[in-house]
């Protein structure tokens, strides 16, 4: 059975809103449990890493171009480039590399 897209959107919106608003409204105390705090600290970085690779290689027509964009993005972000610069540079690199890599 195909699920309803609007129900997906509603669920995602409610969960996201709860995550963002609860600490600002109801839970105004610090979380005491060290493991929970540590888990919350690491999850964002780990999940973005897991979602980035190897997905970036499957998003482009040439996996090699995707891998190169990953490497460039890491280097630029390492040296402090912001979101727009990193994203734009990755796009341009793929555009140029695929001129040669994709026949």
Partner 1 sequence: MMKEKRKSSSPLQQGLRDGVPIGLGYFAVAFSLGIAARRAGLTAFQGFLTSALINASAGEYAGFKFIEENATYLAAAIMTLVANARYFLMSCALSQKITPDTPLRHRFLLGFYITDEFFGITIARREFDPVYTYGAVLFAAPCWAVGTALGIIAGNLLPAFLVSALSVALYGMFLAIIIPPARQNKIVGVFVLIGFALSFLASRLPLLANVSDGTKTIVLTLVISAAAAALFPVKEEADDEA
Contact 59/87 with Cβ under 8 angstroms? no
Is 100 one of the binding residues for partner 1 (CB under 8 A)? no
CB of 26 to partner 1, least distance (A): 10
Distance, in Å, from the CA atom of 93 to the CA atom of 79, rounded to the nearest integer, reads: 18
- Which one of residues 63, 78, 100, 103 is an interface residue with partner 1 (CB under 8 A)? 78
In whole angstroms, how far apart are CA 47 and each of 40, 44, 53, 80? 11, 5, 10, 21
CB of 5 to partner 1, least distance (A): 6
The token pair at 97 is 């590399």
Is 22 one of the binding residues for partner 1 (CB under 8 A)? yes
Is 84 one of the binding residues for partner 1 (CB under 8 A)? yes
DSSP state of 62: S
Is 63 one of the binding residues for partner 1 (CB under 8 A)? no
# chain residues binding partner 1, by CB under 8 A: 76
Is 32 one of the binding residues for partner 1 (CB under 8 A)? no
Is 28 one of the binding residues for partner 1 (CB under 8 A)? yes
């Amino acid at each position: 059975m195909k699920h309803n897209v609007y129900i997906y959107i509603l669920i995602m919106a409610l969960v996201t809103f709860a995550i963002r608003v609860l600490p600002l409204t109801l839970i105004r105390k610090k979380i005491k449990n060290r493991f929970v705090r540590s888990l919350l600290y690491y999850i964002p970085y780990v999940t973005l890493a897991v979602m980035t690779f190897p997905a970036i290689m499957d998003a482009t027509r040439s996996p090699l171009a995707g891998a190169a964009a990953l490497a460039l993005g890491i280097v630029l972000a390492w040296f402090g480039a912001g979101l727009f610069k990193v994203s734009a540079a990755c796009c341009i690199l793929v555009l140029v590399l695929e001129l040669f890599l994709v026949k």
